[in-house]
Amino acid sequence: MQPQPQQGDQPLSILQKTYGYPSFRGQQAEIIDHVIAGQNAFVLMPTGGGKSLCYQIPSLCRDGVGIVVSPLIALMQNQVDALKQLGIRAAAINSNIDGREVHETMAKLRDGDIDIVYVAPERLLLDGFLDLLDQSPLALFAIDEAHCVSQWGHDFRPHYAQLSLLAERYPNVPRIALTATADAPTRRDIIKCLQLDNGETFISGFDRPNIHYTIAIKDNARQQLLQFIKNNHAEDSGIVYCLSRDQVEKTADWLCEQGYNALPYHAGLDAETRTKNQERFIKDEKVIIVATIAFGMGIDKPDVRFVAHMSVPKNIEAYYQETGRAGRDGLPANALLTYGMSDTALLRTFINNSTASDDQKRIEHQKLNALLGLCETSRCRRQVLLEYFGDSCDPCNNCDTCQSPPETFDGTVAAQKAISCVYRTGQMFGVAYLIDVLLGAENDRIQQFGHNNISTYGIGTEFDKKEWQSIFRQLIAHNLLWADTEAHGGLKITTDGQAFLREKQTINLRRHQATRAKKILATEVSESLPPEAQDLFIALRDLRRDLAKTQNVPPYIIFNDRSLREMAIHRPLTPDALMQLHGVGERKAARYGAAFLDVITEHEED
């Protein structure tokens, strides 16, 4: 049996020997050193970027136990199973675990005989659990999915907001908050709520370059989905998101009729069925889960090769997080979104009928507008997506608008009219009102404000309302206008918008065509595996599947696809050569190396 990591080991040594990775990526090393030194941190890192290492390795290096606050039981169990495979002493405390095991874990926590414990915020906040923490040696607190702290975030959870007590009750224990999805207001709120002002902020960028983005106007969405799966993902696992439970059920049944292994997941199913379907998706291969947004947060399955949205998500944050569940292993993956105005109308109805405050409803409407701007942009999808989060990139050539540019028109005059109308009305009104002014509508509100007498009144009749909506959304996407969600959603002119008017710049806009169907573009997901390695890869995958079934764990916990691909390409024949590959640490090499080397050797002899 291989020795487990010892507290006091150097981070790089743990990374190489335990995790089997040769070097840290991006800001990982800096974050880990910062937390080991006892400092607080806020970490924003894209899904699949290695956030978990940023608290797991400090937990192993510092004295005491790392306490990880996690929102979902499924996520906890996946993480614990993976850590145990590496020889790390990890456990979770939640309602799915029997009382004896919980009691044992709590005793180990009190005695410091465990490295990492995962717990839900509801459990952590109980007086009895806090009393236990008072008596335990603590290495750190990690708050995962930290956007749940903020009311600005897309998945606010009230119990998360109460985690501020950690700073007050355990001021000498470092806290690290981590998320993949947070715009600027959400980031500020997280730092304020968790009292991380005296810590360091690490923003690693939002780009997931391995994901290909395609967004298409609906034109028989089922057939578009079928074409997408048949042409690119007939043998892959994937997620299909639908807006309603009824659509989930019907889409799953229809995919099964087409010959695919598709399972439904939504809150209306009984708990046993949901758990069973989720476990099949995690542990089996070639499974498509059809779900509402109730599915997926924290799912750590690295070999999801595609995510498809059959309707518009709530906002860009949700879209980014949901598409980020594809390609977590860094291999090529695809994201497809089909959208129609009926979806948008339904989402607006959900917002309007919610019990949220008027200010919160305005925020949600503006976030939805930004997502529609992404849908209708003529620019690189990735550029618009990253700019929403304050990031940037060059045109990616890995999205549909880069590879098949849409029909555009010279929108210079239209943009001038729109921006001028924002200015003439005082930079305080939303899109609907501005369009009424541009179209010369006769209503009491316009007359009340006297905007029937300004120069932009009635100067936009060359476009109809839907065309103007598209134009405004694109101007927001181009960062010429922005929706001030803290001031009732009124549009304001950005510095770039001012320069556009002042310098008489030109702009091309995407032409609004409500019924135009798009060819579904995608990236080739098997491009990293040479033809001569495919038979060996299949044999290694079969071995992995059998080992996983024996242990009742997901196959990727044994080795992920990237590790198997490197084995198939490089064909190591000795344990030392095997340990040079991605994700093969000492523990896994000792436990599984002989079996995988036997398959490789047999393949070489054949």
425 lies in the same domain as 546: no
Judge contact between 430 and 490, C-beta under 8 A. Answer: yes
The mean per-residue pLDDT over the stretch 243-259 comes to 95
Confidence class of residue 218 from pLDDT cuts 50, 70 and 90? Answer: confident
Domain membership of residue 526 (yes or no) is: no
Distance CA 438, CA 93 (A): 59
Domain membership of residue 6 (yes or no) is: no
The predicted model scores a pTM of: 0.76
Q: What is the pLDDT of residues 383-396, one digit of tens each?
A: 999 988 888 899 99
Range of the domain at 564: 531-605
What are the residues whose beta carbons fall under 8 Å from the beta carbon of 28, sequence distance 6 or more? 50, 53, 54
Judge contact between 572 and 581, C-beta under 8 A. Answer: yes
Cα 353 to Cα 213, 349, 356, 357, 504: the distances in Å are 31, 6, 8, 11, 42
Q: What is the pLDDT of residue 329?
A: 86
Q: What is the dihedral of CA 197, 201, 207, 209, to 10 degrees?
A: -150
* Apex 183 CA angle, 182 and 188, nearest 5: 85
239 lies in the same domain as 322: yes
Domain membership of residue 380 (yes or no) is: yes
DSSP state for residue 511 in the 8-state scheme: P
289 lies in the same domain as 302: yes
Give the closest residue to 147 by CA, choosing from 172, 121, 101, 180. 180
Distance CA 23, CA 28 (A): 10
Cα 27 to Cα 33, 281, 366: the distances in Å are 10, 32, 32
Query: Of 361, 377, 403, at which residue does a domain stop?
Result: 403
95 lies in the same domain as 185: yes
The mean per-residue pLDDT over the stretch 296-324 comes to 85
* Residue type at position 329: D
The H or E element spanning position 99 is helix 99-111
Query: Of 462, 479, 510, at which residue does a domain stop?
Result: 510
586 lies in the same domain as 562: yes
416 lies in the same domain as 485: yes
Tokens matching residue 280: 């099949």
498 lies in the same domain as 589: no
The tally of CA atoms less than 13 A away on the side-chain side of residue 31 is 29
Q: What is the pLDDT of residue 474?
A: 84
* CATH number where 585 lies: 1.10.150.80
Least confident of 98-107, 225-234, 361-370, 552-561: 361-370
The H or E element spanning position 570 is helix 561-570
Look over the chain and give the mean of its residue pLDDT values, rounded to a whole number: 89
Does 368 have pLDDT greater than 60? Answer: yes
DSSP state for residue 4 in the 8-state scheme: P
Cα 158 to Cα 154, 167, 600: the distances in Å are 13, 17, 52
End-to-end CA distance of the chain: 32
Does 355 have pLDDT greater than 70? Answer: yes
- DSSP line for 185-243: HHHHHHHHHTT-TTSEEEE-----TTEEEEEEE-SSHHHHHHHHHHHH-TTSEEEEE-S
Total domain count, the chain: 4
Tokens matching residue 57: 């390795």
Judge contact between 94 and 594, C-beta under 8 A. Answer: no
Q: What is the pLDDT of residue 527?
A: 52
Q: What is the pLDDT of residue 19?
A: 94
Q: What is the pLDDT of residue 515?
A: 43
Query: Of 403, 438, 471, at which residue does a domain stop?
Result: 403
Domain membership of residue 5 (yes or no) is: no
How many angstroms separate the most distant Cα atoms in the chain? 86
Distance CA 481, CA 483 (A): 7
Least confident of 45-49, 57-61, 454-458: 45-49
Does 1 have pLDDT greater than 60? Answer: no
What are the residues whose beta carbons fall under 8 Å from the beta carbon of 480, sequence distance 6 or more? 415, 419, 493, 494, 496, 497, 500, 507
Q: What is the pLDDT of residue 578?
A: 95
Strand partners of residue 40: none
- Please tell me the total number of residues recorded for the chain in this structure: 606
Domain membership of residue 550 (yes or no) is: yes
Give the closest residue to 316 by CA, choosing from 172, 517, 135, 180. 180
Residue entry with tokens 């606010």: 156
Backbone angles phi, psi at 36, to 5 degrees: -60, -35
Confidence class of residue 365 from pLDDT cuts 50, 70 and 90? Answer: confident
Q: What is the pLDDT of residues 160-183, one digit of tens each?
A: 889 999 999 999 999 999 998 777
Q: What is the pLDDT of residues 579-590, one digit of tens each?
A: 999 999 999 999
Strand segments (E) across 379-436? 408-410
Strand partners of residue 43: 178, 202
Confidence class of residue 485 from pLDDT cuts 50, 70 and 90? Answer: low
The mean per-residue pLDDT over the stretch 115-122 comes to 94
Q: What is the pLDDT of residue 175?
A: 97
Instruction: Name which residue leads in pLDDT, 233 or 154.
Output: 233
Domain membership of residue 4 (yes or no) is: no
Q: What is the pLDDT of residue 62?
A: 96
Domain membership of residue 449 (yes or no) is: yes
Burial class of residue 92 in the structure, from the number of CB atoms within 10 Å of its CB (0-12 exposed, 13-18 middle, 19+ buried): buried
32 lies in the same domain as 138: yes
Q: What is the pLDDT of residues 407-443, one digit of tens each?
A: 899 999 999 999 999 999 999 998 899 999 999 999 9
Q: Give me the helix-helix angle, 465-477 and 412-424, nearest 10°.
A: 90
Distance CA 117, CA 69 (A): 9
Distance CA 11, CA 21 (A): 12
Domain membership of residue 415 (yes or no) is: yes
Strands 490-493 and 481-484: antiparallel
Tokens matching residue 38: 């006892």
Q: What is the pLDDT of residue 341?
A: 62
* CATH number where 84 lies: 3.40.50.300
Residue entry with tokens 């007086």: 127
Q: What is the pLDDT of residue 514?
A: 54
Residue entry with tokens 């304001």: 492
110 lies in the same domain as 184: yes
198 lies in the same domain as 287: no
Distance CA 251, CA 602 (A): 43
Q: What is the pLDDT of residue 435?
A: 96
48 lies in the same domain as 157: yes
Q: What is the pLDDT of residue 321?
A: 85
Helix (H, G, I), strand (E, B) or coil at 371: helix
96 lies in the same domain as 39: yes
Distance CA 223, CA 229 (A): 10
* CATH number where 437 lies: 1.10.10.10
Distance CA 141, CA 130 (A): 13
DSSP state for residue 15 in the 8-state scheme: I
Burial class of residue 32 in the structure, from the number of CB atoms within 10 Å of its CB (0-12 exposed, 13-18 middle, 19+ buried): buried
DSSP state for residue 295 in the 8-state scheme: S
Does 298 have pLDDT greater than 60? Answer: no
Confidence class of residue 159 from pLDDT cuts 50, 70 and 90? Answer: confident
Name the percent of the chain lying above pLDDT 90: 59
